Structure 1
Amino acid sequence: MAPLQAASSLNWALIGVVLVVSVIVGKAIYNVFLHPLRSYPGPFLWKLFPLARWIRFSHGDLPFYMRELHTKYGPVVRIAPNELAFCHPQAWKDIYGHRSGGAPELPKYEYFYRAVDNIPRGILNAHRDEHAALRRQLSHGFSERSMQLQEPIIGSYVDLLVRRLQEQCQGGAVGLNMREWLNWTTFDVIGDLAFGSSFDCLEKSDYHPWVKLVANSVQQTAAMHVLAGMGLRPLIRALLKMTRLAITDNQKLVAAKLQQRIELGVERPDFLEAFIKKKEAGEMGFWQIAANAMILIVAGSETTATLLSGALFLLTTNPDKLEKLTQEVRSSFNNDDEITLSSVSRLSYMLACLNESLRMYPPVPTGMPRQSPKGGCFILGKFVPEDTVVAVWQYSVNHNPNFWTEPDSFAPERFMGDPKFKNDQLDAMQPFSVGPRNCIGRNMAYAEMRLILARIIYNFDMVIADDSRDWVKIQKAYTLWKKPALNIHMKPVVR
């Protein structure tokens, strides 16, 4: 009987293998020849299964490769069985903007914005009605009046940054890792504006544990997106319970910092004041506030520091542009006290340099995915079936020669009406997105970036270190950049 039982087991195993192979082959045939997206161009293997797309994403070079795909296939590329990537100015409006007839905007793709599904929703991943309510509460902290009240807070940390850099350079020109100094500054600022106290990064010239966690979580968050996109959310929950991931430690530090802010018991012109009042009125829970605070920390610090790092790299590798900006800054002010959040708004070339840095080195180089609504929708004039994942990929659209003259050249003049760049489509670049879910902190980000960059340029001459000349080329890009050291020789200006 034993041989018969073994043969029977083998037969069942073979039947199982045949069934699995049949399902896989059948799914592949459906995805290529019968799927509603079959008419959209894209790499053959990527149409078969989503695994090919996720493997490329995990390598950290998908935003760069996406540029090649758009060059080959055009403004719309099918990058997974159920996902389309867009590269066109109109796609920003069609995907992220207000829709005609009062129809709601395209919903956010759940598996991207909420890879970890057992924590409260924040403003980044809340549903439409909840998002509108959260945005109303946060808008007070980003109002013009609040920014005026926040200016002494922001200015104090920029003062400290300049002092600490000058201390480092007492012997003359010194090579400094400016990625660190910019990270420390923006985290200290957002710490105070969100929680009533800084992280003391500038004071100690070192990373607060939380800042390190945010940096370390970039790749971990990318892995979470891969697992969630493959339908493996239960595995994510298990990993968070079984291992010490930076994401878990991040939540604990947010909770501790938030509790300190609540215990201050005083009214402040910061971002969480309205939320805390809601909590006191019993309309908002502690962990819901914590979820929003975590988003504010990353969105209000990491992205700002990333853009400033990119701006310093691009300026120091284009000395003629740096010289022109230096002339504008140093001829506009007589001393540091004159450089304020309001006065820096007059620096037109400064704004052009920041915009060109946003184009060439967007802090979020990937696509921020939405999902086509029930009944489908039209994007770029072509029907997209319901539940299709869609996004504009920022790095690709920002470097597309169809929309930009000399897209790989750092040319702030393109944002100042230079005739050479008259055919540039400036609306192709939307670093703060568009529509009802655009970035609420846009004005704050521009003001903070201008102030920090103006104070650095007013007080220091800069030369890029040889070991950082390929700074962008060696980076990995997930949802955010994984940035190496940015070494720049800083020499204090003698007045």
Structure 2
Amino acid sequence: MSPLASRIVEMPSRLISNHEFQEGKFQYLAGALMALMVASYIFQALYNIFLHPLARIPGPWVAKVSANYLVPASAGLHRAQSLRELHNQYGPVVRVGPNEISVSDWRAYREIYSHKASSKTDFFYRDTSLTGHDNIFTMLNKDAHSGRRKLQNQSYSQQAVFDNEALIVDKAKILVRRLSQTGKEPILEKPVNAFALNGLFSLEVILACAFNRHHGDVPSHDAATLLEAMDSTAVAIRTAAALPFLSRAVGRMLPGPIGRSFKQWDLWQDVTQNLLKEFQQHELPLDKTQKFMATPMLVNEDPYLGRRLTQLELVEELMGITFAGSGTTSSTLTYLLYAMSKDMGRQERLRQELRTVAGTSLNEVKNLPYLNAVLKETFRLYPTIMSTLPRILDRPVNIGDHVLPPGTLVGMQNYVHHRDAELFHRPDEFLPERWLEENGNALRIRDMESALTPFSLGPRNCIGQNLAKAELYLAVSNIFGKLRLQLNADMTEWDVEVEDPFNIAPKGRRPLLDVWVLEEERSY
């Protein structure tokens, strides 16, 4: 055979050998890369467990190596409850992620949430933008937040609340009539769902105070539509947070509940835009005193921006206001009615106290001791914001024997420190009497007051707390002054078991109440 023929015959075997070589080389590189990744993970895990600045802080070993330790609890809507169990096991300072700490010592709250000690975290608060712009709840820049707060402070002042008291009273009376269905019958033929009615009450207060929009006893289409849209958007917001590359335009085309939730998000924005346009056309020219929440944002400049807000920035703020202002107060009122409906004696004690004042105006009822005790105990046991408000430390913070370095992700939970067994005797029971000085516990009450943080503290505290308190004072005094409530026999504890989607919510989205109109109030 000629040399050329021999080379032709040998060529296939050489190609095979070369392919095998290349394949072996690829496998070797893949194996080396995999080994490198495993080694890197092991090294990082060992560093997190033994050498990390937080290494001495107790907690589950899985949390020390995985930032996703609490993801299953969050997905199951019981994150706050899981954190309470961890604190019961490990103490007041627990490591719940490689760089994340949970604190249950109420004495640390003021330092952690002060403007000088910490800042809001990008990954958590950016996710809650509603139109792609910042709002007062999501702003990270402290100067920008301060400017936006100055723009809105007037709308939430105590004077603004008094100016709008008649609007709130009107909505409270409507709520009483809805609860009693007719307002004239001594007993109802069917129970009422207080959760749904409280949601409408809180939203209608916000619509009245923000836009001068009013509704009668029968809920209007825009209020009911807006309430359903806000409730239904939660799935879309959580999806967008988990998948930041997913736009709303794409989200609304997805099948099933996720796509429907994105569509409800769009509806929420559309309804808010229409409310704003109608206010601009019909109410703004008449509102010379800037009585309504929308007015200062329309006519005044944002001090930080040095200009008025754009239309989309206005919609962002007003969407945040309607959401925060309606869902929070309604949840508190729902759990208050639930807790008081379990005890006729407490209802009668509150009713007797209400009869000591001539009427039910805000000035008349806001200083009543037992009414305040009932509100405080509801705030304590059923805090509206029950889950973690995360912060990044800007400077070292001492908590007990531990020093948390700058850059640490740290958070506290109202649900946890409001149930501190050392401070609150029988912490899982609804006991308004614990707040009354007549029981000789003035020093303990002082500490309990310090530990009670339903509206947070410091410069990032709840801007709407004056309005929220006024709603509760006026609604509770009107309800128990005219009605007697009792849990319906079909109610179960599961119906009102606390869920943690961040703000508190009852699993069954109710309590069901039997409602009696008091004999002396039949003509109401």
Question: Structures share a fold, TM > 0.5?
Answer: yes
Match of 2:101 among 84, 98, 118: 84
Distance in 1, matches of 2:413 and 2:250, equals 29
**Aligned pair partner of 1:304 in 321, 329, 333:** 329
Q: In structure 1, what residue type is equivalent to 2:469?
A: Y
Q: Secondary structure at the match of 2:245?
A: helix
2:375 is equivalent to residue 358 of structure 1: no
TM-score (norm 1): 0.89
Query: Higher mean Cα deviation, 395-404 or 16-25?
Result: 16-25
Pairwise mapping of residues 99-248 of structure 1 onto structure 2 (< 5 A)?
A: 104-115=116-127, 119-126=132-139, 127-168=141-182, 172-173=187-188, 174-198=190-214, 202-204=218-220, 208-222=224-238, 224=240, 227=242, 233-235=244-246, 240=251, 243=254, 244=259, 245=262, 246-248=264-266
Corresponding residue to 2:79 among 58, 62, 71: 62
In structure 2, do the counterparts of structure 1 residues 116 and 156 end up closer, same or farther at CA, with 3 Å as the change threshold? Answer: closer
Greater mean alpha carbon deviation, residues 112-121 or residues 69-78: 112-121
Whole-angstrom CA distance in 2 between matches of 1:263 and 1:80: 51
Following TM superposition, by how much is the alpha carbon of 1:143 offset from its aligned partner in structure 2, in angstroms?
A: 2.1
Aligned AA for 2:82? Y
Q: How many residues align?
A: 480
Give the CA deviation at 1:287.
2.0
**Is 1:315 aligned to residue 340 of structure 2?**
yes
> What is the Cα deviation at residue 79 of structure 1?
0.9
Distance of aligned partners of 1:152 and 1:423 in 2 relative to their CA distance in 1, 3 Å threshold: closer
Report the AA paired with residue 271 of structure 1: M
Query: Relative to structure 2, which stretch is displaced further, 173-182 or 353-362?
Result: 173-182
Match of 2:269 among 238, 248, 251: 251
Residue matched to 2:512: 487
More moved, 275-284 vs 352-361: 275-284
- TM-score w.r.t. structure 2 length? 0.84
Q: Secondary structure at the match of 2:44?
A: helix
Q: Is the 8 A contact 1:50 1:80 kept in 2?
A: yes
Contact 1:88/1:397 (<8 A) preserved: yes
Q: Distance in 2 between matches of 1:223 and 1:31?
A: 30
Question: Compared with structure 1, are the counterparts of its residues 26 and 242 closer, same or farther at alpha carbon in structure 2 (3 Å cutoff)?
Answer: farther
1:267-286 mapped onto 2 (5 Å cutoff): 267=287, 268-278=290-300, 282-286=307-311
Q: Whole-Å Cα distance in 1 between the matches of residues 184 and 322 of structure 2?
A: 33
For 2:430, give the aligned amino acid: F
Any unmatched runs of 5+ in structure 1? 99-103
Deviations 1:233-259 (A, max 9, x none): 335778657544244443333333222
Counterpart of 1:197 in 2: which secondary structure? coil
Q: Return the alpha-carbon distance in structure 2 between the equivalents of residues 194 and 285 of structure 1.
A: 17
Q: For residues 67 and 467 of structure 1, do their structure 2 counterparts lie closer, same or farther at Cα, with a shift above 3 Å needed?
A: farther
Is 109-118 or 280-289 further displaced after alignment? 280-289
Within the candidate set 436, 447, 452, 1:416 is matched to 436
1:385/1:105 CA distance change after superposition, 3 Å: closer
User: Is the Cα contact below 8 Å between 1:310 and 1:361 reproduced in 2?
Assistant: yes
Instruction: Sort the Cα spacing of 1:69 and 1:321 in 2 relative to 1 into closer, same or farther, 3 A.
Output: same
Contact persistence 1:116–1:236 (CA under 8 A): no
Change (3 A) 1:195 1:380: farther
Task: Give, in angstroms, the shift of residue 472 of structure 1.
Answer: 6.6
Q: Which residue is equivalent to 2:474? A: 451
Aligned residue for 1:364, secondary structure, equals coil
- SS at the partner of 1:141? helix
Deviates further, 245-254 or 119-128: 245-254
Q: CA deviation at 1:206?
A: 9.8
Q: More displaced, 207-216 or 442-451?
A: 207-216
Q: CA deviation at 1:393?
A: 1.0
Residues 296/381 of structure 1: CA separation in 2 closer, same or farther (3 Å cut):
farther
Alpha-carbon RMSD across the aligned residues, in angstroms, is: 2.7
Question: Which deviates more from structure 2 when the two are superposed, residues 162-171 or residues 290-299?
Answer: 162-171
State the SS of the aligned residue for 1:451.
helix
State the distance in 2 between where 1:239 and 1:201 align: 39
Query: Secondary structure at 1:203's aligned position in 2?
Result: coil
SS of structure 2 residue aligned to 1:113: helix
Structure 1 residue matching 2:410: 3-state secondary structure? strand
Shift of 1:27: 2.4
Larger mean Cα displacement after TM superposition, 165-174 or 76-85:
165-174
Rounded Cα–Cα distance in structure 1 between residues aligned with 2:62 and 2:146: 40
Cross-structure match for 2:391: 370
Determine if contact 2:155/2:291 at 8 Å carries over to the other structure: yes
* Paired residues of 1:169 and 1:491 also in contact (CA < 8 A): no
Per-residue CA shift, 1:35-60, capped at 9, x if unaligned? 21111111111111011212211111
Tell me the residue number matched to 2:459. 436
Work out the CA distance in 2 between the residues paired with 1:289 and 1:364: 25
Partner of 2:313: 288
Q: Is the 8 A contact 2:176 2:183 kept in 1?
A: no
